[in-house]
Amino acid sequence: MKAVHFGAGNIGRGFIGHMLSASDYEVCFVARNPKKISMLQQRQEYPITLANRDQDTTIVNNVTAINVSEVDRVAEEIASADLITTAVGVSALGDIAEPIAKGIQLRMKNNNQAPLHIIACENAIGGSTRLKKRIYPFLDESTRNKAERYVSFPNAAVDRIVPAQNHKDPLQVTVEPFYEWVVHRPALLDGFKKIDGVHYVDSLEPYIERKMFTVNTGHCVAAYFGYLEGFKTIRQVMSNSTLRAKVRHVMEETGQMLIQKHGFNAQKHNKYIDTILERFANPNLTDQVTRVGRSPLRKLSPHDRLVRPAMQASEFGIEIPHLTSAMAAAMLFNDERDEEAMKLQYMIREEGVSTFIRERMGIPDEHPVHQNVIARYQELRGRKESTILT
């Protein structure tokens, strides 16, 4: 069985590629970094290390790589593949849509009727569906009709913390021991080879929202609260009892919504929160606040990890003072190395806070969450300016 994976970064190598190789897939990474591509081609293996006390290391083998710019080679790999996966970031799905489309075209031209599954392993709800919508405009009508029969785009939820890192070996990657990969089972075509360690479910939304609105929400909230206090790493944030409590309160608020919406067991969900907090505090991982908090415009968008759970909680009548405070903290994230953060600050200066919340976050003026975010923003900004003056 052969898998083509787009993205040879830390998540691609340390999570998806590792699991595919362990399930006896031949893995061809499609990447941009010439050095990593060359090393993967020459060595056909790389090490991953668990961020635990013993630093357990595993060798991932049966891998190679090609450059995404080699359009014909990428198409040939896809034409004969059994599985395509991605870990490029949801904003980059459009960049890989045309190469995948060319591979599907060649596959259909060659009359390859074996099932092809394309799974976007991104921090996004409906990532595979989004990728499909990007790919299909590059296909002619005949190819689209064939693809509907032989190509499927199962949505998925993925969870593993893999911080930015540097090693002597550019291919080595350190990952946390915990991982979760959930795939929507009804979208699988006959003949799919299951991946060891993947959880296949009939209803994906509860798992995606539980992960997005607990792990992703909590992680970025830790970054934004920590940034305002001058902390450099998530581990430092979690070592501060006051900030750790704030992060937990946010996760408890989103948890109330998830419990009401999806019927999760409250006791089990609280244990899930405990597990997530311990993962953030892992003493063997060093994750920068600026890395976790990067791209605040995306994280403040209407359907992402802050606004979406806030609006759903409001519909259930759940009070969310800590989540609105976290949204305000995100609006104050102004890391100069982050292009989105700088754009965010420019928008707020030019448009005003209320207009930003309405136009960019999608929260109407009359909505109570709108007014609460303004109040929290003014409070946090005043506190920050007072600290600077002091």
- Which burial class, exposed, middle or buried, applies to 262 when counting CB atoms under 10 A from its CB (0-12, 13-18, 19+)? middle
Please indicate if the annotation marks 3 as binding a ligand: yes
How crowded is residue 249: how many other Cβ atoms within 10 Å of its Cβ? 16
Please indicate if the annotation marks 9 as binding a ligand: yes
- Tell me how far apart the alpha carbons of residues 367 and 373 are, in angstroms, rounded to a whole number: 10
Please indicate if the annotation marks 382 as binding a ligand: no
Residue 325, SS3 per DSSP? helix
Please indicate if the annotation marks 330 as binding a ligand: no
Please indicate if the annotation marks 14 as binding a ligand: yes
Which residue in the block uniquely carries the two structure tokens 């539980």? 210
Name the token pair of 145: 């009709």
- Determine phi and psi for 284, rounding to 5 degrees: -95, 0
Contact 236, 281 (CB under 8 A): no
Please indicate if the annotation marks 303 as binding a ligand: no
Q: At what angle do helices 93-109 and 127-135 cross, to 10 degrees?
A: 60
Helix (H) / strand (E) element for 146: namely helix 141-150
Please indicate if the annotation marks 10 as binding a ligand: yes
Please indicate if the annotation marks 158 as binding a ligand: no
Find how far residue 119's CA is from the centre of its chain. Answer: 13
- Which burial class, exposed, middle or buried, applies to 81 when counting CB atoms under 10 A from its CB (0-12, 13-18, 19+)? buried
- Tell me how far apart the alpha carbons of residues 369 and 108 are, in angstroms, rounded to a whole number: 49
Please indicate if the annotation marks 184 as binding a ligand: no
CB crowding 351-363: b at 16 or more within 10 Å, else e: eebeebbbebbeb
Best CA proximity match to 263, nearest among 322, 209, 182: 209
Please indicate if the annotation marks 5 as binding a ligand: yes
Please indicate if the annotation marks 11 as binding a ligand: yes
Across the beta sheet with 26-31, the strand order is: 63-67, 26-31, 2-6, 83-86, 116-120, 151-152
C-alpha distances out from residue 178 to 249, 257, 361, Å: 23, 25, 32
Please indicate if the annotation marks 65 as binding a ligand: no
Strand segments (E) across the chain: 2-6, 26-31, 45-50, 57-61, 63-67, 83-86, 116-120, 151-152, 156-159, 173-175, 180-184, 199-201
Please enumerate, by residue number, every residue annotated as part of a binding site: 3-14
Binding-site annotation: residue ranges for NAD(+): 3-14
